[in-house]
Structure 1
Amino acid sequence: MTDQRSFARTVIALSLAVIACCVLTFTIMLLAGSPAVQPQRVLDQEALARAVLNHAESDSSFAKPPTIDDVSCPASIPVEAGREFECNVGVGTGNTGGRAWVKVKIKDDQGDLSMD
């Protein structure tokens, strides 16, 4: 009789362990697919600065051509369709340089940009 109770307890304990492992696995898989757990995508700062620089060079007349170091954009901009922000392209001071503000809009969740 004691052997049967011991066997029953062992089976129950193993069953509970298997169920706990299944629940834990399901929870991890559920959370891994959740957007709240995945890191937020942000724009690549260097690529953004190059795109703004190319736009500013084609639309503005600077006394001295701007370089990538002359571009200033907000940091860590989340990739969200419709988000708008401004970048500054500034060269020198006074009459010896130039300054332009470039309005940037994120067109889609892939990070495609439009600039004005």
Structure 2
Amino acid sequence: MKEITVEELKAKIDNNEDFQLIDVREPFEYETSNLNGLNIPLGGILIEADKVATDKPVIMQCRSGKRSAAAVMQLEQQLGLTNLYNLKGGILAWQEAFDPDMPVY
């Protein structure tokens, strides 16, 4: 599984690179804090797979990187997608590196 660090993600954002960010946490978690990704909870990732881009890099993120890794594995195994990256450490790593005041639980 391909992974990306929060530093690499921030560079992509700062450089206005074309990619899709998908947050696989539950809606209440997303409402607490998010990185402006599309919210598709892990339980619905295969049902809503048509919302996942196939023509550019897609970065999956969650709280710590475990659920987003599961989402990457499901989409790779079930649909054969090859453009997926897991955000290593999730939003907790983002908070630690860039936004210590971001509310996380």
TM-score normalised to the size of structure 1?
Answer: 0.23
| Structure (1 or 2) with the larger CA radius of gyration | 1
TM-score normalised to the size of structure 2?
Answer: 0.25
Task: Indicate the structure whose relative CO is greater, using CA pairs within 8 Å and at least 6 residues apart.
Answer: 2
